[in-house]
Structure 1
Amino acid sequence: MVIGTFKCSFELEQALGELEHDGISRQKILIVQMDAAPKNTIEFLGGPRDLHANAIEVGMASATASAVIGTAVGFSLELGPILWGLIATFIGFNVGYWLYLFIKKGLHTKRDNDLPEVIVIVQTSREQSVRFIETMWKYGALTVGKASEVKKDAVANVDT
């Protein structure tokens, strides 16, 4: 068995494609996506979820300011202060919301460290294992290992 760990990426797909191209059937490949440690509620503060909450707050503040200006200007325009206040509110909210997201989005982009790890286990012969190890390294595996021969009795004990 050859075992490799990858970040969930396009290189992983390329490595799997090359393994299948080299004659390993899908039944001999096991792929396991690892879960990250669960986050507690304190760690959620300042995360990407709060990005939209903050954008809504900025949008509301911008909508309030725009409503005041729209209402004041609306006294001298044809549709009147109420309609111009509502129009300015809608425009102000959208400008504040989208401008905040546009400016702050770069701070919350997903980094490589945030990508989940994937473990690929390939059951292969000893002769082919060297080639598969090289394939995994070629496509950016984080770690690669080779399991020694597993006895069927040991596997049967694990299953029970």
Structure 2
Amino acid sequence: MSEKALTLKESGVRWLWLALFIFLADIAIKFLVLEYIEFGWQNRIEITPFFNLLYVRNYGAAFSFLSDQAGWQRWLFTGIAFAVTAMLTYWMSKLPAKEKWNNIAYAMIIGGAVGNVFDRVVHGFVVDYLDFFVGNYHWPAFNLADSTICIGAAMIILDGFISKDKAKA
């Protein structure tokens, strides 16, 4: 016995509006950063005693992973982002729209991944602008796209624990 296929309206694909919103917000903020903040740590704008806005370039992945390589990593991370986006969109198409938690998590990852891919393709690097620190320790600079990817991934992990707890009960 086969399951009835979900229509676009019934499937989690309806939640792609959130991915589009994240993408557009990320690109808009990065545009403002490129327009109004000079490149480099020395040009930071102090917001609070633990937070700065700045403009730095990330040629690698999260936390500048592989940023010191010759440039091949740009296309590797772009390919990975396209593959993950395709996989998550497929999963959303199989998931009912009413399953908000996972659809929101997937949309957050997609929106962030596409935002960073846009930077890699257009600029050759990802624009990072959020700088949190304690004393002399600075968390690696990041952006809205990175934040939504991490939050979406955390939601998926949390859902795995919650689902296991529900199954035991």
Q: Normalising by the residue count of structure 1, what TM-score does the alignment of the two structures yield?
A: 0.28
Q: Normalising by the residue count of structure 2, what TM-score does the alignment of the two structures yield?
A: 0.27
Highest relative contact order (Cα 8 Å, sep 6+), 1 or 2?
1
